[in-house]
Amino acid sequence: MAARLAMKDVNLRFGGITVLHDVGFDVDPGEIFGLVGPNGAGKTSLFNCISGHYKPGSGSITIDGQEVRGQSPAKMARHGLARTFQHPALQLASSVLDNVLLGAYSRLPGSPVEWALRLPRTAKADRAARDEALTLLERMGLGWAADVEADELSHGLHKSIELCRALMIHPTLLLLDEPAAGLSHGEVEQLIATVKRLRDEDGMTVVVVEHNMSLIAEITDRVLVLDHGRSLMTGTAAQAQSDPRVIEAYLGVPDAA
Ligand SMILES: Nc1ncnc2c1ncn2[C@@H]1O[C@H](COP(=O)(O)OP(=O)(O)OP(=O)(O)O)[C@@H](O)[C@H]1O
Ligand SMILES: [Mg+2]
């Protein structure tokens, strides 16, 4: 089941700096929605507000109509939200499999004490999660890397491992922060196919922050353009690319056309 995301009049301040000014947008269930804008526009901060890493001072954020503003990241995972980070945050000294498994723990049964004692129901859940993680790694073409230490792998593979970890949450809403940054052309093509499959076959709603406009044009239904923490416009990627306000925001000069 894909989730509906709605944000209304969200404001985020750090001391005297307002990072997001009255930002609002809606994402329909099953939509692939792009969030674009120049460096420092507030894209990652906006993701942090949705995922519970930042607490906006005002406004509303709902998932399937339920108010979630200010909830913790762990609670947001229980609302079906998963995300990746602009800079992959992996346990580099652990195996790929153990990194991917971390995504499952937010939804597995049992208290920390039960896990520490490895009681039967946690041991069974752990075995099932390991099987699922291995199947997922196979599906993403990474089965060969399950036992490899994350540290030994490339940046592109770190991005894929992080995506697998997010998918172990069984998300209905997936936030991807610059998933194509630093990837080779071939890796970007693979990423495009994967994101489309997650929407078409797994029924997820996806919000993607990206500077790669050809990826945005290829996969998104609509985009929101942010600039200096303000919403500039919402529309298709093609509309955004030809909008004089957007061109000015990127180039820093008024559109000469
Ligand atoms: N924890 C924080 N404390 C203070 N300022 C912050 C914090 N997080 C973000 N900011 C500020 O908010 C603004 C937006 O940053 P953000 O990282 O959200 O931009 P972005 O659109 O993701 O940029 P990029 O494309 O470079 O990743 C920046 O001016 C940044 O310095
Ligand atoms: Mg960012």
For residue 13, the ligand closest to its alpha carbon is: 1
Structure confidence at residue 245 (pLDDT): 92
Gap from CA of 90 to ligand 1 centroid (Å) = 21
Tell me the pTM: 0.94
Taking only the tens place, the pLDDT of each residue in 164-173 is 999 999 999 9
Same domain, 69 and 12: yes
Domain's final residue, options 170, 193, 227: 170
The count of domains in the chain is 2
Q: 153 with 177, same domain?
A: no
Same domain, residue pair 145 and 184: no
The SS3 of residue 144 is helix
Mean pLDDT of the chain: 93
If asked whether residues 176 and 223 sit together in one domain, one would say yes
Structure tokens at 217: 């044009």
If you measure from the C-alpha of residue 42 to the centroid of ligand 2, how many angstroms do you get, rounded to a whole number?
7
**What is the structure's pLDDT at 113?**
74
Question: Which residues sit with their C-beta closer than 6 Å to ligand 1?
Answer: 14, 17, 19, 37, 39-45, 86
Instruction: State yes or no: pLDDT of 54 exceeds 80.
Output: yes
- Which string of DSSP letters, residue by residue, matches 179-197? TTTT--HHHHHHHHHHHHH
* CB-based contact 78:106 (threshold 8 Å): yes
Q: Is residue 86 part of a domain?
A: no
CATH of the domain at 67: 3.40.50.300
* pLDDT given for residue 255 in this prediction: 47
Angstrom distance (rounded) from CA 178 to CA 192: 12
191 C-alpha to ligand 2 centroid (Å): 19
pLDDT per residue as tens digits for the range 23-48 = 999 999 999 999 999 999 999 999 99
Both 3 and 67 in one domain: the answer is: yes
Reported as a single tens digit per residue, the pLDDT across 194-211 is: 999 999 999 999 999 999
d(CA 129, ligand 2 centre) in Å: 31
Q: Which amino acid is at 148?
A: V
Domain that holds residue 139: 91-170
**Segment 70-112, tens digit of pLDDT:** 999 999 999 999 999 999 889 999 999 999 999 998 777 777 6
Ligand 1, atom 24: closest residue by C-alpha: 39
Q: Do the beta carbons of residue 83 and residue 54 sit within 8 Å?
A: no
pLDDT of residue 194: 96
Residue 257 has pLDDT above 70, yes or no: no
**Pocket test residue of 45, 84, 224, 232 for ligand 1, highest count of atoms within 8 A of CB:** 45
At residue 115 the predicted structure's pLDDT band, cuts being 50, 70 and 90, is confident
Closest-lying ligand 1 atom to the alpha carbon of residue 17: 5
Q: Are residues 57 and 98 in the same domain?
A: no
pLDDT at 254 over 80: no
Residue 60 alpha carbon to ligand 2 centre in Å: 21
| Domain shared by 166 and 176, yes or no | no
47 & 99 share domain: no
